[in-house]
């Protein structure tokens, strides 16, 4: 995964990779949509695909509304994002499982 997406990755903490788990952080919804689509396109070139059912996003800016879609499928919005034993809440709180 690292070699396939190396040029798409941004410095930590904006992109985190562990095996086949990826976390992307973005300043706004539009940037997130662009990045996720770029990752989907790249994975497809190598015969891989994003598991939309396991993909979710967290919004910390309550003034920004809407939803994110990938290939016509709406992604799940969550109030607590879990990644590798840690959880980030939409209010910015950090929890350890």
Predicted local confidence at residue 9, as pLDDT: 95
Q: Give the integer Cα–Cα distance in Å for 97 and 94.
A: 10
HSE-CB of 65 using CA atoms within 13 angstroms: 1
How high is the mean pLDDT of the chain? Answer: 88
Say how many domains are in the chain.
Answer: 1
Question: Could you read off the pLDDT of 59-88 as tens digits, one per residue?
Answer: 887 666 667 778 888 888 888 998 888 898
Q: What confidence tier does 97 reach under pLDDT thresholds 50, 70, 90? A: low
8 A C-beta contact, residue 27 and residue 48: no
Host domain of residue 27: 2-96
Q: Give the integer Cα–Cα distance in Å for 16 and 26.
A: 12
Taking residue 86's Cβ as centre, other Cβ atoms within 10 Å add up to: 12
In terms of DSSP H, where are the helices of 15-57? Answer: 29-45
Please tell me the pTM assigned to this model: 0.80
């Amino acid at each position: 995964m690292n070699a396939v997406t190396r040029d798409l990755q941004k410095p930590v903490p904006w992109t985190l990779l562990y095996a086949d788990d990826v976390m992307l952080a973005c300043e706004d919804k539009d940037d997130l949509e662009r990045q996720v689509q770029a990752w989907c396109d790249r994975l497809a070139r190598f015969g891989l695909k994003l598991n939309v059912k396991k993909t979710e996003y967290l919004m910390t800016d309550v003034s920004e509304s809407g939803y994110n879609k990938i290939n016509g499928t709406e992604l799940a919005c969550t109030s607590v994002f879990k990644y590798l034993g840690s959880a980030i809440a939409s209010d910015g709180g950090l929890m350890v499982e």
